[in-house]
Chain A
Amino acid sequence: MATYALRRVLQTIPILFVISVLLFLMVRAAPGGPLTAARRNPNISKEQIEAIEEKLGLNDPLPVQYGRWLGSMLRGDMGDSIKFRRPVSEMIGERIPNTLTLVGAAFFVTLLLAIPIGILSARKPYSPFDYTMTTITFIGQAIPVYWLGLGLIVVFYVALKNPFTGDPLFPVGGMNSRGQEGNPLDTLWHLVLPVTALSLGWIAWYSRFLRSSMLDVLHEDYIRTAKAKGLAERWVHYKHALQNAILPLVTLIALDLPSLFAGALFVETIFSWPGMGRLFWDAAKGRDYPVLLGVVMITAVLIIFCNILADLVYGWLDPRVKYD
């Protein structure tokens, strides 16, 4: 297993290499760059700019520059933000916990609802409950997350008011109210709308998946055997069937990570949630390329890491899978 994990990590190197070359070429070709302000400044002569370029190594051949950039990337130095003049790694480090809080909470809610819905639909396929859920999941999958987010703001922030205080029913924007920084209950309160917006589509998608996975498993011979030897139906469904039906979910979630992050980006933008997605969007508007590249690189590494983790977890959950 350890050798398998090691091999998988080694296999990601070419992937990360391709991604990093593409990103590097883009940042080099991007207009602006670190000397834009200096070029516009009439007090700095052309010779001085050329001297700075020489000093920063901007005249070296591209592969040399790439090597240097990669070297500093590997040391965790992702350069400085053009706009904020702060190290990118520091800025991202501040935002990661907030994104993980949001995505983690939304994912918790998703599993909490999607698994029971999937099981109940599969236990009684084509029942009224199943039909209702099928319709709702079809709708849930088709609602764009940004529209849902705006709708939630209109209903729960603009239209509905708290009957006691007259304030909006749910807070919108940021993680905390003024003066409540660091209060976990207040953060939970601020999580309600973003998590709803984020998880609805996920609940639809994963409950659909679990339903069809359950239905497949229920046709297996070992289910018939279990029923034939007189086990209670409930026990067969929850113990024998669910265990096997839920396995592919692990792989699916890992494969879905890029789109999960995409959802987080939209929700963070709409609800001003101070996570990586919001940081990225702000940086994109200001063409702050070092920040953009840092976020993409970190997300790519995170996604690859989670994929490897999912494979390993799968092997641990399913003894039929052997790594060699």
Chain B
Amino acid sequence: MIEPLKGREQTMGTLILRRFFKHKLAGVAIAVMLVLIASSLLADLNPFSPTDQNPTNKLRDPNTAHWMGTDELGRDLLSRIMHGGRVSLAVGLFSTVLSILLGIAVGALSGFFGGWTDSILMRITDAFLTFPSIFVLIILGAFLREQQLFVLQNSIFVVIVIIAALSWMWPARLVRGLFLVLREKEFVSASKALGGNSFRLIVRHILPNCAGPILVSGTLQMASAIITESGLSYLGFGVQPPTPTWGSILSTAQNQIFTAPWLGFFPGLMIFITVMAINYIGDGLRDAFDPYVIHTE
């Protein structure tokens, strides 16, 4: 006898959410990320400006007025960290989205059509994978900024594009692998038999089934994009001053290492916390999307 379903019906979404929050640290990580996002969105509520200089009030230790102290130009560090978070998180998010879109396009074409399309696209992917990416990022960062084109004067835009341009290979390979498996499945043949064209097969039938793995690898990629942006800005080839980002704050803090070591502590800590939180969210998503995962709590 078939037992009637007890309780409310569970959709795929609620099931995934339930499984996600079973991973306790992932829940904590979501909360941490929400705080970080809120603090950077509400950065303007901070009474101190991130750019106004105050020569009489420089290099103060953390105190009740300036919770993280002030930097070498007398700017409030907390305010700079909050505004910097806005840039760092936005660069991480948008470069990841862009890179994943690029990767999906390449991977889907490659995996779905196979043959010549596949070999050519995969050779290009391999070529990009052998690029020592940080070196190329630095060259591009230095080079593009010197061009006269108007959009290239915006260093945030440049950083987003170049990080995406050198990281789409991982989602491309992942999506290609998934497509190779999924295109042989019965539901794809069924749709084909019903007259679905390639575009419909790719977008409506195969792609939705790749959502889980793409999301999981996307989180890891966002973490590494944030580290890359900070690193690039730290080296002086990313987002340009006076726009604060965690990386560039760390870079100027380096000069004050003897007089004010805490200046470098806070921006690095923010990068660290963000990356930790994103990694744990990725961990939780992996559990949530994997029906075979064994919960060990």
Interface residues of A (CB under 8 A from B): 14-15, 18-19, 26, 29-31, 126, 138-139, 141-147, 150-151, 153-154, 158-159, 255, 258-259, 261-262, 265-266, 269-270, 280-281, 284-285, 287, 292, 295-296, 299-300, 303-304, 307
Contacts and interface: CB of A to CB of B under 8 A. Distances in A.
A292 B146 contact: no
A24 B129 CA distance: 19
A319 to B, nearest CB: 27
21 contacts: A15-B126, A19-B131, A126-B296, A141-B279, A143-B272, A147-B267, A150-B268, A154-B264, A261-B132, A262-B134, A281-B138, A284-B235, A284-B237, A287-B142, A292-B138, A295-B135, A296-B132, A296-B139, A299-B132, A299-B135, A304-B130
A321 B186 CA distance: 33
A150 to B, nearest CB: 5
Contacts of B124: 18
Given A142-B275, A258-B130, A281-B138, A153 B257 contact: yes
Interface of B: 123-124, 126-127, 129-136, 138-139, 142-143, 146, 223, 227, 230-231, 234-237, 250, 253-254, 257-258, 261, 264-265, 267-269, 271-272, 275-276, 279-280, 296
Closest 10 CB pairs of A and B: A147-B268, A262-B134, A142-B275, A299-B132, A15-B127, A142-B276, A154-B261, A18-B127, A258-B132, A296-B135
A262 B235 contact: no
Contacts of A147: 250, 264, 267-269, 271-272
A207 B227 CA distance: 21
Main secondary structure on B side of the interface with A: helix
Query: Most B CB atoms within 10 A — which of A143, A147, A265, A287?
Result: A147
A31 B144 CA distance: 10
B257 A30 contact: no
Nearest to B253: A150
A121 to B, nearest CB: 14
B135 A269 contact: no
A26 B279 contact: no
Nearest to B135: A296
A281 B45 CA distance: 38
B126 A269 contact: no
A146 B254 CA distance: 10
Contacts of B280: 138
B126 to A, nearest CB: 6
Given A139-B276, A144-B275, A300-B130, 6 more contacts: A14-B123, A14-B127, A255-B129, A266-B231, A287-B146, A303-B130
